[in-house]
Amino acid sequence: MKTIINLLIMLMLINPSFVFENNIDEDVLPEGAGGAYFSNSMKIVCVSPEFCLYEIGHKVDHVYGMISMSDEWINAVTEHINSDGAESYIKDFPGLPNNGCYELDNGGCWGGYAELYSEILGVSGGDKNNIPSELLKFYDWDMIEKEISMDYSGKN
């Protein structure tokens, strides 16, 4: 089975405007953001494969009823963080217990379990072997592969 990155590369070869279009409507994409997921319309807009994967994580989370807010996800993340092999980007992720949040320019706070859910997918590069085994069951790879084949360049 091809990884998500291989699918992205194939898609970019077929449709070069897929992620290389950086002139996305600024009314759609928040200032300074590389991507956005709009839950009301379920629309994703992004400028690179990494941001697309991250935003797809938000969509998968939303479609499945906010897995990232479930006790099962939170417990699995906590168990992983307390294990010997926990990755530092997960262990030190903003907004988790004992970690401060990432402060935004507007005074808001970024981080937490929902952002971590998407971050893990983005950091994985679309390869499920790069997701900690105890967290893998929370990701629907059929949906992820379907979503990655969509055009999120802001042109649709």
The per-residue pLDDT for range 105-121, each reduced to its tens digit, is 766 777 889 999 999 99
| 12 belongs to a structural domain | yes
Domains: count for the chain:
1
| 21 belongs to a structural domain | yes
Greatest Cα pair distance, the chain, in angstroms, is: 45
Provide the token pair at 21.
Answer: 């279009």
User: What is the rounded average pLDDT of the residues 53-70?
Assistant: 94
| 120 belongs to a structural domain | yes
Q: Which domain holds residue 137?
A: 4-148
28 in Cβ contact with 36 (< 8 Å): yes
Residue 47 in this model has a pLDDT that exceeds 50? yes
Q: Is the model more confident about 107 or about 52?
A: 52
pTM for the whole structure: 0.74
| 153 belongs to a structural domain | no
- With cut-offs at 50, 70 and 90, classify the pLDDT of residue 129: very high
Q: How far apart are CA 43 and CA 156, in angstroms?
A: 10
| 130 belongs to a structural domain | yes
- What's the pLDDT score for residue 42? 86
Nearest to 143 by CA among 116, 110, 121, 114: 121
| 89 belongs to a structural domain | yes
| 93 belongs to a structural domain | yes
Nearest to 118 by CA among 42, 62, 38: 62
| 23 belongs to a structural domain | yes
User: What is the rounded average pLDDT of the residues 44-66?
Assistant: 90
Q: Read off φ and ψ for residue 7, nearest 5 degrees.
A: -65, -40
Q: How far apart are CA 15 and CA 132, in angstroms?
A: 32
